Chains A and B, each alone.
Chain A
Amino acid sequence: MEHLLDFLSLSDPNVRYVVIGSILLAASSAIVGTFTLLKKKALVGDAVAHSVLPGVCLAFLLSGVKNPLYLIIGAFATGWLSLVLIDYITHKSKIKEDTAIGLILSVFFGIGILMLTVIQKSGNAAQSGLDHFLFGQAASLIGKDLIVFSSIAVILIAAIWLFFKEFALIAFDENFAHSIGFPVRALELVLTTLTVLAVVAGIQAIGVVLMAAMLITPAAAARFWTDKLKVMIWLAAGLGAFSGLVGAYISYVAPAMPTGPWIVMVISIIAVLSFFLAPRKGILFRFFTQRKFQNQMLEENILKLFYQLGETEGSYYQSRSMAEIIARRPFQIARLKKGLKNLYKQGFLKTSAKGWAYTRAGKRKGQRITKLHRLWELYLTEYLRIAPDHVHEDAETIEHIITPELERRLEEKLRFPTLDPHQSEIPYRKL
């Protein structure tokens, strides 16, 4: 707790730098990643992330120092090379893109690990900390490193702001972009370059192994909450920044701990929560909507049944026991009880010692559902030429979703018929 307060107060200048750096990096890669996601290039991002490792090692081998600028140039070079090779293999051979991505990713990463091992065994004192590029170490984002990596992050954000309209267009409709004379190839080149840069910017704080997650996961989580591109970008940036902040904190309290996995854990939890909780698209929301419909159908079916019983006996407002109801239609007892209780609460049924009976509103509703059922059966037999003995099942569902507007059109189209295909009377409301 004490740690947390210390951390949040940003009193230590080193903490301040690490926090600013982590937030900037995570947010900028999330912003670029939004377009990577929309262009359906998520896997390419992963390949690039793994492919920068040999570049980092090579830059170190050649220069002998851990200068962030050299390392970035090296990382950028092999990251780019991997993209060129994927593109070349996909277009010039029978190998499909997913295979090409898998090949390049593993070959480049393998070479990277090989070189890293050689460097570590070489006994060069300057190499200590190079392995942080594998899983990230946010705490090392200070001094020159911070300035270099943060500058890249700022460049990325500025570039996306500048190219927003163009990137959105080529992500949505490339052919159209071509047709109005936009330089699609050049724009794609810029976007690809930004993707590589975003990966490069993140390697110190997050590491090459998990960098792809920082590109894609914030955007994927944000997509659940919004249908607006601008909101999606801001949200992805915010979620990315938050996980970056958590990563920086972990790095502060446990300096030996790699930060990348923690940052990715946080953003993944956010993504999973979005998957379950988001309105409309989330699993929970859909579950509850389904249940709402199930209950609505149950309640309307009970009211319809009361109407049918009333029809048979000529008295609509009589009390009915549960046994009487089940004898006519085999409801599940628990479901039936729940439905009756709900209908009572809503004022469509009243209770007495003898059971349950219609209120006026209840009868009106039960009558309407019966009417819709019979109208729909008639519509199916008359307009779709479906045999009368095949229409009942269909009407059982449709009766629950017909709106008053459709109801009116149905009545007019069928010219207010009096009998359904089974010769039951279609009950209209008496005015």
Chain B
Amino acid sequence: MIHQVENPVVELHDITVSYNRKPVLWDIDLTLPHAAIIGIIGPNGAGKSTLVKSMMGLVEISSGYVKMFDQDLEQVRSRVSYVPQKESVDWDFPASVTDVVLMGRYGKLGLFTRPRKADKEVALECLRQVDMQDYANRQISQLSGGQQQRVFLARALAQEADLYFMDEPFAGVDAATERAIINLMKTMSKQGKTVVVVHHDLQSAQEYFDWVVLLNLRLIASGPADQVLTPELLQETYGGKLTLLAEVGALLTKKEFPSREKG
């Protein structure tokens, strides 16, 4: 059940990723459509975050390639935004909410240029979109989990990109924030932007996403949400363990055998 699309916004060609020689993603080959909200879904340890990181060039790919807007990431970086898991940073860092949102402007500013007044206004406008304008001068250490996520989203909005990758934006946030985030995503996709979301809650998947990628070490399905979220495919993703695949992976680690000849 792997749908390929014409003129895709993202194309993954036969991606394999290994950590310490152990493959965590096997031969992922897929295309994603424009102007959609796309969910990457799978159990814990399925490699969802790794897939997004490999697309953003944050982890090394053992084989295959990634294209965005039919180009290498390097050429289109200013059109792509990445929202890391909020747990990946130390929220005790001495910075205000505005400081963090302004980081979204750094890509456009480049090295050695300080944010200008215009950037500050963009930052404030982005805070308004996530309903955090009253917290602009608040220290980030004083924010709740939901507020932290909103700040990260505001930073992504400040990048004014066309393609957004968000790693678990719904994890550890309150119901109101979850609502606010999904509404924001819907607005974004109406404006022609594509949002790719790592997600682990099956309940809400059907409602939230136009397109769903089912992942568990290998690609199980990629296609319109209503065609992919079937009991059989979900069973294949979450159910029967692929013990053989896991064992081969373990063997590669144990023998320090390269997962690819050149590796």
The answer to whether A binds B is: yes
User: A412 interface residue, CB < 8 Å from B?
Assistant: no
B95 near A172 with CB under 8 A, answer yes
A179 near B56 with CB under 8 A, answer yes
Chain A 174-201 near chain B by CB (<8 Å), digits 1 or 0: 0111111111000000000000000000
Please judge, given known A-B contacts A179-B56, A180-B77, A227-B139, whether A172 and B107 are in contact too, CB under 8 Å: no
Please judge, given known A-B contacts A166-B111, A226-B94, A227-B94, whether A176 and B103 are in contact too, CB under 8 Å: yes
User: B88 interface residue, CB < 8 Å from A?
Assistant: yes
A178 near B141 with CB under 8 A, answer no
Partner of A229, one of B81, B82, B94, B155: B94
**Neighbouring B residues of A228 by C-beta, 8 Å:** 94-96
Cα of A166 to Cα of B110 in the assembled complex, Å: 10
* Central interface residue in A177, A181, A183, by most chain B CB within 10 Å: A181
Partner of B93, one of A165, A171, A175, A176: A171
Cα of A257 to Cα of B71 in the assembled complex, Å: 65
Chain B 67-81 near chain A by CB (<8 Å), digits 1 or 0: 000000010010011
B77 near A172 with CB under 8 A, answer no
A180 near B106 with CB under 8 A, answer yes
B106 near A172 with CB under 8 A, answer no
User: B84 interface residue, CB < 8 Å from A?
Assistant: yes
User: A363 interface residue, CB < 8 Å from B?
Assistant: no
**Neighbouring B residues of A177 by C-beta, 8 Å:** 106
* Central interface residue in B57, B74, B84, by most chain A CB within 10 Å: B84
User: B207 interface residue, CB < 8 Å from A?
Assistant: no
The smallest C-beta distance from A281 to any residue of chain B, in angstroms, reads 10
Please judge, given known A-B contacts A178-B56, A181-B77, whether A173 and B94 are in contact too, CB under 8 Å: no
* Central interface residue in A171, A183, A227, A232, by most chain B CB within 10 Å: A227
A38 near B93 with CB under 8 A, answer yes
User: B90 interface residue, CB < 8 Å from A?
Assistant: yes
User: A168 interface residue, CB < 8 Å from B?
Assistant: yes
Chain A, Cβ-Cβ closest to B112? A162
Chain B 89-121 near chain A by CB (<8 Å), digits 1 or 0: 110011110011001001100011111000000
A182 near B94 with CB under 8 A, answer no
**Neighbouring B residues of A368 by C-beta, 8 Å:** none
Chain A, Cβ-Cβ closest to B53? A175
Please judge, given known A-B contacts A172-B95, A173-B84, A180-B159, whether A227 and B103 are in contact too, CB under 8 Å: no
Cα of A182 to Cα of B106 in the assembled complex, Å: 9
Partner of A169, one of B80, B81, B84, B106: B106
Interface size class of B (residues with CB under 8 A): 20 to 34
User: A304 interface residue, CB < 8 Å from B?
Assistant: no
**Neighbouring B residues of A226 by C-beta, 8 Å:** 94
A173 near B114 with CB under 8 A, answer no
Chain B, Cβ-Cβ closest to A162? B112
User: B175 interface residue, CB < 8 Å from A?
Assistant: no
The smallest C-beta distance from A160 to any residue of chain B, in angstroms, reads 13
User: A223 interface residue, CB < 8 Å from B?
Assistant: yes
The smallest C-beta distance from A212 to any residue of chain B, in angstroms, reads 21
B88 near A173 with CB under 8 A, answer yes
**Neighbouring A residues of B139 by C-beta, 8 Å:** 227
**Neighbouring B residues of A178 by C-beta, 8 Å:** 56-58
**Neighbouring B residues of A166 by C-beta, 8 Å:** 111-112
The smallest C-beta distance from A227 to any residue of chain B, in angstroms, reads 4
Chain B, Cβ-Cβ closest to A181? B77
Cα of A183 to Cα of B106 in the assembled complex, Å: 12
The smallest C-beta distance from A185 to any residue of chain B, in angstroms, reads 12
A229 near B95 with CB under 8 A, answer yes
Cα of A28 to Cα of B107 in the assembled complex, Å: 29
The smallest C-beta distance from B150 to any residue of chain A, in angstroms, reads 16
Chain A 149-176 near chain B by CB (<8 Å), digits 1 or 0: 0000000000000110110110111011
Cα of A249 to Cα of B99 in the assembled complex, Å: 40
Chain B 35-58 near chain A by CB (<8 Å), digits 1 or 0: 000000000000000000100111
Q: Interface residues, chain B, CB within 8 Å of chain A?
A: 53, 56-58, 74, 77, 80-82, 84, 88-90, 93-96, 99-100, 103, 106-107, 111-115, 139, 141, 155, 159
5 contacts between A and B (CB under 8 A): A181-B77, A182-B106, A229-B94, A229-B99, A232-B94
A-B pairs, top 10 by smallest CB distance, nearest first, are: A180-B107, A179-B82, A227-B139, A181-B77, A229-B94, A175-B84, A173-B89, A172-B93, A227-B94, A179-B56
